[in-house]
Amino acid sequence: MNLDAVRAGLPVLEQVAYLNAGTFGPLPARTIETVERQNRSELEDGRTGASYWEEVSGLRARARQTIGRTIGAPSETIALTRSTTDGCNIAVSALRLEPGDEAVTTDAEHFGLLGALAASSLRVHVAEVNAMPAADAAAIVRSHITPKTRLVALSHVVWTTGHVIPVEQLADAGIPVLVDGAQSVGAGVLDVAALGCAFYTVSGQKWLLGPDGTGALYVNPEHLAGLDVAFPSYYSQQSYEDDGHFLPSEGAARFDYGSVPAPALGGLLESIAFAEEAGADRFERAQRMAERCRRLLAERVEVVTEPGQSTLVAFRPNGDATETVARLASQGVVVRELPRLGWVRASIGFWTSEDDVDRLVAGI
């Protein structure tokens, strides 16, 4: 991988050591150029006519194909959303739930997932994995499954600890598994079909380096027939009657969350292309840099993240977390505080240099 070329395409890196892709990834310059070009076209040529709708349809089709390729899934299993939160809400609402049905989640989840569970009729059981070894997480979750469990919902990569949960160990329980992929998609090689989950969410704005308001939801075709379309959009139907009854679109497209702006879709496609052009070895490089970051930080502070996990590195600073994040920002190092935990998190991408890591460690 040509690190200099990659960093030259991410202008924010000229200003700061940007270690916060777990919230928003650094935007490639060419992504913004694509968004601006599409916006200019819509301004000058309008958003109407057959050619415009053909263009939008083409972008949506390409987005399904590209996201599907990124996560190892066919395009027909991909619904387009605006965020992981959308995906979680769509998935939970699609289940045919009855009073007394239960779900199992963990104590390490983002509200984007928890909110969907809380708003449902499910009784939620929480498996305590946040303070446990990553390898034990799946077994702990399985211990909470009962005959009434209708959903297991959890992250692939925990947004706080950075630990990788072996979600593939849960698929054989015979219960739909909803996986929050916000911290995994774009951060490493992924094959959702091999995981056996029913749903897998995608955030476009994080490790995929895309614009805000982009995302997707993988829906396992084996589960499709048992799901309802609770929030139909125009894209959910092949045809409809005057009373609103409709024939659902083929595949996961029936769960599309309405219109995603064409400039945002075009920008996401450009961002994914930028990442792919960096080379297949980019994930291995990011992993090496994350391990280097973890090792160096461990010489100075308590590191929460175990060795050999994801490209997130969480640590407990010697002082106040809020003050630590602010001090680092004043030194040109961008990380984030993890609320309620008193931890700080660094996101290490394939674009991260040794100097970025050294600046973080020196700031600590």
Per-residue pLDDT of the chain (364 residues), as tens digits, is 899 999 999 999 999 999 999 999 999 999 999 999 999 999 999 999 999 999 999 999 999 999 999 999 999 999 999 999 999 999 999 999 988 999 999 999 999 999 999 999 999 999 999 889 999 999 999 999 999 999 999 999 999 999 999 999 998 888 999 999 999 999 999 999 999 999 999 999 999 999 999 999 999 999 998 999 999 999 999 999 989 899 999 999 999 998 899 999 999 999 999 999 999 999 999 999 999 999 999 999 999 999 999 999 999 999 999 999 999 999 999 999 998 899 999 999 999 999 999 999 999 9
> Taking Cα atoms as reference points, which of 308, 304, 363 lies closest to residue 338?
304
User: Are 157 and 189 in contact, with CB atoms under 8 Å apart?
Assistant: no
pLDDT for the residue 173: 83
102, 122 in Cβ contact below 8 A?
yes
In this prediction, residue 272 carries a pLDDT of 98
The Cα–Cα gap between 167 and 9 comes to 34
pTM over 0.85: yes
- Of 114, 192, 123, the C-alpha closest to 153 is 114
Question: In this predicted structure, what is the pLDDT of residue 233?
Answer: 93
Predicted pLDDT of residue 172: 84
Tokens found for residue 186:
């774009």
| pLDDT value of residue 62 | 98
At residue 258, the pLDDT reads 87
SS3 label, residue 278: coil
The per-residue DSSP string of 222-259 comes to: GGGGG---SS--GGGEEEE-TTS-EEEPSGGGGG--SP
DSSP 173: G
> 132 by DSSP, 3-state: which?
coil
Q: Which residues contact 330 (CB under 8 A, 6 or more apart)?
A: none
pLDDT at 254: 96
